[in-house]
Amino acid sequence: MSMYSSEIRAKDITNKLMVTEGKKINLQKLSPEYDFSINEKKAEYVLNQNLKKRMSDLQYRLYAERKKALLIVFQGIDTSGKDSTIRHVISAFNPQSCTVKAFKEPTTEDLSHDFLWRIHKSAPAKGEIVIFNRSHYEDIIQPRVHKTIHKPIWSQRYEHINAFEKCLSDSNIKIIKFFLHISKEEQRKRLEERLNDPSKHWKVSERDMEDRKFWSSYTVAYQDIIKRCSNTWAPWYIIPANKKWFRNLAVGLIIVDTIERMKPKFPKPAINLSKIVIDN
Q: Is residue 272 part of a domain?
A: no
The CATH number linked to 238 is: 3.40.50.300
Give the range of the structural domain holding residue 237, as residue numbers without chain letter: 10-264
Q: Determine contact, residues 61/126, Cβ cutoff 8 Å.
A: no
- The Cα-based distances of 274 to 268, 269, 271, 277 in angstroms read 13, 11, 9, 8
Q: Is residue 280 part of a domain?
A: no
Q: Is residue 269 part of a domain?
A: no
How many domains does the structure of the chain reveal?
1
Counting residues of the chain whose pLDDT is more than 70, the rounded percentage is 97
Which tops the pLDDT comparison, 197 or 124? Answer: 124
Q: Is residue 274 part of a domain?
A: no
pTM score: 0.94
Average pLDDT over residues 16-26: 93
d(CA 270, CA 95): 26
d(CA 203, CA 215): 19
Q: Determine contact, residues 30/237, Cβ cutoff 8 Å.
A: no
Distant-in-sequence, close-in-space partners of 20: CB < 8 Å, separation ≥ 6 = 230
10: confidence class by pLDDT, cuts 50, 70, 90: confident
2: confidence class by pLDDT, cuts 50, 70, 90: very low
Task: List, as one string, the DSSP characters of 83-104.
Answer: HHHHHHTGGGS-TTSEEEEE--
For residue 3, the model assigns a pLDDT of 38
Per-residue pLDDT for 151 more than 60? Answer: yes
7: confidence class by pLDDT, cuts 50, 70, 90: low
Q: Is residue 127 part of a domain?
A: yes
Q: Is residue 79 part of a domain?
A: yes
Q: Is residue 271 part of a domain?
A: no
